[in-house]
A and B are shown apart, each in its own frame.
Chain A
Amino acid sequence: EPEVTQTPSHQVTQMGQEVILRCVPISNHLYFYWYRQILGQKVEFLVSFYNNEISEKSEIFDDQFSVERPDGSNFTLKIRSTKLEDSAMYFCASKGDLFNYGYTFGSGTRLTVV
Chain B
Amino acid sequence: QKEVEQNSGPLSVPEGAIASLNCTYSDRVSQSFFWYRQYSGKSPELIMSIYSNGDKEDGRFTAQLNKASQYVSLLIRDSQPSDSATYLCAVNILRGGTSYGKLTFGQGTILTVHP
Contact = CB atoms under 8 A, between A and B. Distances in A.
B36 A98 contact: no
B103 A100 contact: no
Mostly helix, strand, loop or mixed at chain B's interface?
strand
Contact of B90 (A95, A99, A102): A102
A35 B101 CA distance: 12
Interface in A22-50: 31, 33, 35, 41-45, 48, 50
Interface stretch (A62-70, A73-81, A105-113): A105-113
A100 B43 contact: no
Given A50-B100, A98-B99, A99-B32, A105 B43 contact: yes
A103 B46 CA distance: 7
A99 B92 CA distance: 9
Interface stretch (B13-21, B54-62, B64-72, B105-113): B105-113
A31 B100 contact: yes
A100 B32 contact: yes
B43 A45 contact: no
Interface residues on A, range: 20 to 34
A55 B100 contact: yes
Contact of A105 (B44, B92, B104, B106): B44
B103 A45 contact: yes
A45 B32 contact: no
Interface residues of B, number: 24
B34 interface: yes
Contacts of B44: 43, 91, 105
Contacts of A103: 46, 101, 103
Given A107-B42, A107-B43, A33 B101 contact: yes
Contacts of A89: 43
B45 interface: yes
Given A42-B108, A91-B43, A107-B42, A99 B49 contact: no
Interface of A: 31, 33, 35, 41-45, 48, 50, 55-56, 89, 91, 95, 98-108
